[in-house]
């Protein structure tokens, strides 16, 4: 198949992950309101936003395969987004301390020429160690993960915050579940090794 692949994301983490597949692609930032709908579950939220991001980009690229993704962290039923500030990151890590946090990553591959979307939600569970405020502050000072849902980078020093990880694809934790993505791309006609 000769379709161009477009990543509907400005995330450097997602770009880095997609590059691992060795496929030529470009990325474009989608303009999508990420506000949850009334009574929308975290699962429904990430599925909807992944597809909305893909459709927002596909509008201008009618012959592309567009990959959309969105992620939230959920602890005790509460959504943790990107903290944005040091204070919110401290609060998020204090809330996660000693608990299991489920990361839900919505993934969509949209064939713009047909308007057909494959959409899935991939869960990944992180069990945090009991963290002191001093440990949290030291970690945030070194890594400053203020643009990451849950306030850590598992691919970096964030690994010291965990007791264990549970899931099928560690890439899902970073924001783009490559194992599912490979299957979806193959179903869309892309040949992978």
CA nearest 184: which of 60, 61, 50? 50
User: From the candidates 33, 70, 168, 191, which is the catalytic residue?
Assistant: 70
Phi and psi at residue 105, to the nearest 5°: -115, 115
**From the centroid of its chain, how far is CA 119?**
13
Q: Which residue has the tokens 């203020």?
A: 146
The Cα–Cα gap between 153 and 149 comes to 9
Catalytic (active site) residue 70: yes
What contacts 35, CB < 8 A, 6 or more positions away? none
The Cα–Cα gap between 127 and 125 comes to 7
Handedness of CA 161, 49, 183, 6 (dihedral sign): negative
What residues are labeled active site?
A: 70
């Amino acid at each position: 198949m000769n379709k161009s692949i477009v990543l509907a994301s400005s995330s450097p983490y997602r770009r880095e992950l997609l590059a691992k597949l060795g496929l030529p692609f470009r990325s474009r930032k989608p303009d999508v309101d990420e506000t949850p709908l009334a009574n929308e579950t975290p699962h429904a939220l990430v599925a909807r936003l992944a597809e909305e991001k893909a459709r927002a980009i596909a509008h201008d690229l009618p012959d592309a395969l567009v990959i959309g993704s969105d992620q939230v962290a959920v602890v005790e039923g509460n959504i943790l987004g990107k903290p944005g500030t040091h204070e919110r990151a401290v609060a998020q890590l204090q809330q996660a301390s000693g608990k299991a946090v489920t990361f839900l990553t919505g993934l969509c591959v949209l064939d713009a020429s047909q308007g057909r979307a494959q959409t899935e939600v991939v869960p990944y569970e992180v069990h945090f160690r009991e963290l002191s405020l001093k440990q949290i502050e030291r970690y945030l000072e070194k890594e400053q993960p203020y643009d990451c849902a849950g306030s850590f980078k598992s691919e970096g020093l964030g690994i010291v915050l965990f007791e264990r990880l549970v899931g099928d694809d560690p890439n899902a934790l970073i924001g783009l579940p490559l194992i599912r993505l490979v299957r979806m791309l193959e179903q869309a006609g892309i040949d992978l090794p």
